[in-house]
Amino acid sequence: MKNKSLVSITDYSKDDYLKILDIAAEFEKNPSQHLLDGKIVATLFFEPSTRTRLSFESAINRLGGRVIGFSDANSSSVTKGETLKDTIKMVTGYVDLIVMRHPLEGAARYASEVASVPVINAGDGANQHPTQTLLDLYSIKKTQNTLENLNIFMIGDLKYGRTVHSLLMAMSNYNPTFFFISPDELKMPNEYKLFLEQHNIKYYEYRDFMPIIAEADIVYMTRVQKERFSDPIEYEKTKNAYVLNNSMLENTRENMKILHPLPRVNEISLDVDENPKAYYFTQAQNGVFVRQAIITSILGIK
Amino acid sequence: MKDKQLIVNAIKNGTVIDHIPAKNLFKVISILGLQTINNQITFGTGLESKKLGSKAIIKIADRYFLDEEINKIALVAPQAKLNIIRDYEVIEKRVVEVPDYIQGIVKCMNPKCITNNEEIKTKFTVLSKNEVSLKCHYCERITQQDRMVIL
């Protein structure tokens, strides 16, 4: 992994995942380790993502590294018409590592080919967001003590949800059973279902999760966005079918945990937050440890 | 009466590419870069073909192609046949095959792909060759044959 960019979750092998998760567990025990003294990391956010940027910057700061960069394209030379290539060529001479988010798909892969330092993809449009996937894996492993043979429920927007697609690919290494619960308009795309069939992984599709939620080990919630619907009436009819509230959790498994990539809007009621099965805020916190692990292993320190 | 029929002569040495769909003739020329070489080249188009309806043919004197060069035209002329000529004789016939990896030639169908927004040569892994399906090296989206646009 040393000096290798992390653009897509498939850039890492199953062994790489476990290595990252092990290092992340060490950082969770002892988050402030000055391993990046004298190192500079660029956080180039060509579109704003406060949550992801703060998580990366927290990780870098806890490691004692310095951060330079910008938090949206308006404050960078992009507004002057500079190409991505030129921006990356310039920054690559200033830093030891680039973390970048970009609204266009494939931007991070391209940057990794132009840069002479490693690039970590912090989201490229609807394509990939591998550090999110690794922190999801970490959260699943930590709460279930294993990644193997779990019942994974994915609820909400499964069509456009980049996080669920990457998580599906990564979890497919561990013989899961998937339950996809979504409105018809936002079903899991065929290419992913085909992928599961080719790998002999069981999956089931439902419109409603209540009859089956007792089977879940992990419930992965996503936001159902109004703008995804071609028919606004359809949205009004379906929006409340994918909202989780505390009373729905009564008959769920003891080990069951609710994950969400955040930001949440209304798909998880506030009354769930106090339930010990709600894990999304801890999941976000885990993101810092996982990003510490990724950064240090790419820089060859861990 | 004067014989007005113009006959394109056979070539002594070189390559004849037959069974090109007429509408893609100039794409084949541009993919092979024939507009930039000085060899003697003759082509005919709008020729009758049972298979293709209307076909084109290109004869390139003193030029032979490697498989990896010629396979680039497979996306625009999948049924193309090559006749390799030496001393007026066809010494070998070849067909084209869609390669495993394609650089340039095709546009990624995803408008949000970086290759459609900056000057970057497209790159694809070929997932399927019969009903051609290409996975973009950058955005990872799949471009199917029916949505394929040749650059």
Strand runs labelled E in A222-274: 257-259
Which of B114, B136, B137 shows the shortest C-beta gap to A107? Answer: B114
Cβ–Cβ below 8 Å for B112 and A105: yes
- Residue A200 has φ and ψ, to the nearest 5°, of 55, 45
- Predicted confidence at residue B7, as pLDDT, reads 54
- pLDDT class of B48 with cuts at 50, 70, 90: confident
Residues of chain B with CATH 3.30.70.140: 14-95
pLDDT digits (tens, 9 = 90+) for B69-97: 899 899 889 889 999 999 999 999 999 99
Chain B touched by A210 (CB under 8 Å): no
- Predicted confidence at residue A167, as pLDDT, reads 96
Parallel/antiparallel/unpaired status of strands B133-136 and B142-144: antiparallel
CATH of B101-150 given 2.40.50.140, 3.30.230.10, 2.40.160.40, 2.30.30.20: 2.30.30.20
- Predicted confidence at residue A185, as pLDDT, reads 86
- Helix/strand/coil percent split, chain B, to 5: 20, 40, 40
Active site residue A129: yes
pLDDT digits (tens, 9 = 90+) for B26-40: 999 999 999 999 999
Chain B touched by A83 (CB under 8 Å): yes
pLDDT digits (tens, 9 = 90+) for A26-50: 999 999 999 999 999 999 999 999 9
Cβ contacts (< 8 Å) between A127 and chain B: which residues? Answer: 139-141
Query: pLDDT higher for A124 or A302?
Result: A124
Which of A83, A85, A106 shows the shortest C-beta gap to B139? Answer: A106
Domain with residues A31-128, CATH architecture = 3-Layer(aba) Sandwich (3.40)
pLDDT digits (tens, 9 = 90+) for A169-216: 999 999 999 999 998 889 999 989 999 999 999 999 999 999 999 999
pLDDT digits (tens, 9 = 90+) for A48-101: 999 999 999 999 999 999 999 999 887 666 777 889 999 999 999 999 999 999
Give the residue on A whose Cα is nearest the Cα of B110.
Answer: A105
CA-CA distance, A244 to A242, in Å (whole number)? 6
Q: Under DSSP, is residue A97 helix (H, G, I), strand (E, B) or coil?
A: strand
Catalytic annotation, pick one of A101, A162, A223, A302? A101
Q: What fold is seen in the domain B14-95?
A: Alpha-Beta Plaits (3.30.70)
Which of A83, A105, A191 shows the shortest C-beta gap to B113? Answer: A105
Residues of chain B with CATH 2.30.30.20: 101-150
The residue of B114, B136, B137, B141 whose CB has the most chain A CBs within 10 angstroms, and thus the best one to mutate to test that interface, is B114
- Predicted confidence at residue A286, as pLDDT, reads 98
Residue A228 pLDDT greater than 80, yes or no:
no
Listed residue (A12, A11, A107, A27) closest to A63, CA to CA: A27
Active site residue A101: yes
Residue B54 pLDDT greater than 60, yes or no:
yes
Active site residue A10: no
Torsion, Cα A28 A34 A39 A43, to 10 degrees, reads 30
Listed residue (A130, A127, A108, A128) closest to A119, CA to CA: A108
**Residue B57 contacts residue B43 (beta carbons within 8 Å):** yes
Residue A246 pLDDT greater than 60, yes or no:
yes
DSSP codes joined into one string, B5-51 = ---PPPPSSEEEEEEEEGGGHHHHHHHHTGGG--S-EEEEEEEEETT
Active site residue A228: no
Ramachandran assignment for A170, one of left (phi > 0), alpha (psi -120 to 50 degrees), beta (any other): alpha
CA-CA distance, A223 to A158, in Å (whole number)? 9
- pLDDT class of B1 with cuts at 50, 70, 90: low
A81: which residues sit within 8 A by CB, 6+ positions away?
none
Model ipTM value: 0.89
- Predicted confidence at residue A91, as pLDDT, reads 96
Cβ–Cβ below 8 Å for A110 and B117: no
Cβ–Cβ below 8 Å for B142 and A191: yes
Active site residue A62: no
**Which tokens in the block code for residue B104?**
């340039």
**CA distance to partner chain A, nearest, from residue B113 (Å):** 5
Chain B touched by A109 (CB under 8 Å): yes
The residue of B117, B120, B139 whose CB has the most chain A CBs within 10 angstroms, and thus the best one to mutate to test that interface, is B139
Query: Domain segments of chain A: what residues?
Result: 31-128, 131-284
Parallel/antiparallel/unpaired status of strands B133-136 and A177-181: unpaired
* β-sheet with B101-103: strand ranges across: B101-103, B123-128, B133-136, B142-144
Query: pLDDT higher for A238 or B73?
Result: B73
CA-CA distance, A197 to A51, in Å (whole number)? 35
DSSP state of A255: T
Burial class (CB in 10 A: 0-12, 13-18, 19+), B119: exposed
CATH code that applies to domain A131-284: 3.40.50.1370
Specify the length of chain A in residues.
Answer: 302
**Which tokens in the block code for residue A152?**
């994974």
Cβ contacts (< 8 Å) between B113 and chain A: which residues? Answer: 104-106
CB atoms within 10 A of CB B97: 12
CA-CA distance, B4 to B2, in Å (whole number)? 6
CA-CA distance, A296 to A179, in Å (whole number)? 35
User: Peptide bond preceding A276: is omega within 30 degrees of 0, i.e. cis?
Assistant: no
- Predicted confidence at residue A76, as pLDDT, reads 67
**Which tokens in the block code for residue A55?**
């998580």
DSSP state of B97: -
Catalytic annotation, pick one of A51, A89, A228, A264? A51
Burial class (CB in 10 A: 0-12, 13-18, 19+), A26: middle
